[in-house]
Chains A and B, each alone.
Chain A
Amino acid sequence: SQQGEEDPQALSIQEGENATMNCSYKTSINNLQWYRQNSGRGLVHLILIRSNEREKHSGRLRVTLDTSKKSSSLLITASRAADTASYFCAKRETSGSRLTFGEGTQLTVNP
Chain B
Amino acid sequence: DTGVSQDPRHKITKRGQNVTFRCDPISEHNRLYWYRQTLGQGPEFLTYFQNEAQLEKSRLLSDRFSAERPKGSFSTLEIQRTEQGDSAMYLCASSLEQQGNQPQHFGDGTRLSIL
Contacts and interface: CB of A to CB of B under 8 A. Distances in A.
Interface of A: 1-2, 4, 30-31, 33, 35, 40-45, 48, 50, 88, 90, 96-104
A42 B101 contact: no
B106 interface: yes
A45 B55 contact: no
A104 B41 CA distance: 7
B45 interface: yes
Interface of B: 4, 6, 31, 33, 35, 40-45, 48, 50, 55-56, 58, 91, 93, 97, 100-109, 111
B4 A48 contact: no
A19 B111 CA distance: 30
A44 B107 CA distance: 9
B44 A97 contact: no
B45 A42 contact: no
Contacts of B101: 30-31, 48, 50
A48 B103 contact: yes
A45 B108 contact: no
Contact of A103 (B41, B45, B50, B56): B41
Contact of B42 (A40, A96, A101): A101
B4 A42 contact: yes
Nearest to A33: B103
Given A43-B43, A44-B106, A103-B41, A30 B100 contact: yes
Given A98-B48, A101-B44, A43 B103 contact: no
25 contacts: A2-B41, A2-B42, A2-B44, A4-B42, A30-B101, A35-B106, A41-B108, A42-B4, A42-B91, A42-B106, A42-B107, A42-B108, A45-B104, A48-B103, A50-B101, A97-B56, A98-B48, A99-B35, A99-B43, A100-B45, A101-B43, A102-B42, A103-B40, A103-B41, A104-B42
